[in-house]
């Protein structure tokens, strides 16, 4: 029988490991699945939709992310195809011990000529003392379209939970026609609550939204997006800019509900009436 003291060894604690892969292509004027891979804790569901863009719902059956978990995925949109990727629910990143290695979450997306990918996961909730390394890499053709939305929630204000300390490395890399277009890194290690209180960083707001559109006509959407930003709720600050075939919106809020309403309003514009992903409406 194993020594009971070994149960506290981080190397022996159970960790979730998962991988997924999805490839879609255009066939008979419709986007269809041409490849699907699911391993470990990862699943991909494809809800039936009578019309519109096919949706892939990413599911983590382990019930949240703990330090040391490993999840990786690949999404491929072949020429002319169109796909929306979302998640079943808000992802939760739980508290880690000091000796635990960070959870690693990586996704790589390829969007070929004339294809469109809408990357629209529900929010990620980070708990106090969580440890995470996350990477999203997108490799797209010059005439492809990628719409993305990421919401980070630090603590749950409704439960009086705050994030005092965190270990977080959150990175986004986009390449267009094999040239690096945009790199963004959020690195936070240590006393997060103290940083978020600073006026130059978040002025006490704990919910962050980053929304981006990379498309040949991305800059033409700026006026409509800025008009929509003029109606945001109290407690939300947001701004939009466009350059080099990109549109980027950033917003800070004190509640996830207010940020969610803003993101839905913006996506209703940029998705041109296609509506929210099915899990967003649940």
CA distance 205 to 52: 36
Rounded mean pLDDT, 183-198:
87
Stretch 85-106: mean pLDDT: 93
Cα torsion 39, 53, 120, 160: sign:
negative
Residue 69: the pLDDT is 95
- What pLDDT digit, counting tens, does each position of 206-255 carry? 899 999 999 999 999 999 999 999 876 778 999 999 999 999 999 999 88
For 69-124, give the DSSP string.
Answer: -EEEEEEEE-TT-EEEEEESS-EEE-B--TTSPPEEEEEEEEE-TT-EEEE-PPPE
- Residue 192 reports pLDDT greater than 90: no
Q: Answer whether residue 205 shows pLDDT above 90.
A: no
If phi over 0 gives left and psi between -120 and 50 gives alpha, with beta otherwise, what is residue 137? beta
Residues 85-107, mean pLDDT to the nearest whole number: 93
> Average model confidence (pLDDT) for the chain?
89
For residue 5, the model assigns a pLDDT of 43
Sign of CA dihedral 271, 184, 113, 72: negative
- Lowest-pLDDT range, 51-60, 105-114, 175-184? 51-60
Residues 123-158: tens digit of each pLDDT: 999 999 999 999 999 999 999 999 999 999 998 766
Task: Give the global pTM.
Answer: 0.91
Residue 1: predicted pLDDT: 39
State yes or no: pLDDT of 3 exceeds 50: no
Helix axes 256-270, 222-229, angle to 10 degrees: 150
């Amino acid at each position: 029988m194993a020594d009971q003291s070994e149960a506290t060894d981080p190397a022996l604690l159970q960790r979730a490991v998962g991988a997924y892969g999805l490839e879609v292509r255009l066939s008979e004027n419709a986007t269809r699945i041409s490849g699907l891979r699911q391993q470990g804790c990862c699943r991909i569901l494809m809800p039936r939709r009578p019309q519109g863009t096919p949706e892939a719902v990413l599911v983590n059956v382990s019930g949240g992310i703990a330090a040391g978990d490993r999840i990786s995925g690949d999404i491929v949109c072949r020429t002319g195809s169109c796909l929306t990727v979302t998640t079943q629910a808000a992802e939760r990143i739980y508290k880690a011990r000091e000796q635990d290695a960070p959870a690693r979450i990586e996704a790589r997306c390829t969007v070929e000529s004339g294809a469109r990918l809408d990357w629209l996961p529900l929010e990620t909730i980070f708990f106090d003392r969580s440890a995470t390394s996350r990477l999203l890499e997108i490799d797209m053709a010059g005439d492809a379209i990628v719409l993305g939305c990421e919401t980070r929630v630090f603590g749950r204000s409704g439960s009086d939970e705050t994030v005092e300390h965190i270990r977080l490395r959150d990175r986004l890399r986009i390449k267009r026609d094999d040239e690096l277009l945009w790199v963004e890194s959020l690195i936070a290690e240590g006393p997060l609550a103290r940083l978020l209180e600073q006026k130059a960083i978040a002025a006490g707001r704990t919910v962050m939204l980053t929304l981006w559109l990379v498309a040949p006509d991305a800059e033409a959407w700026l006026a409509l997006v800025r008009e929509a930003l003029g109606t945001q709720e109290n407690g939300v600050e947001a701004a939009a800019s466009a350059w080099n075939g990109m549109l980027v919106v950033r917003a800070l809020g004190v509640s996830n509900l207010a940020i969610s309403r803003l993101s839905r309003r913006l996506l209703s514009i940029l998705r041109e009436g296609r509506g929210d992903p099915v899990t967003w409406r649940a």
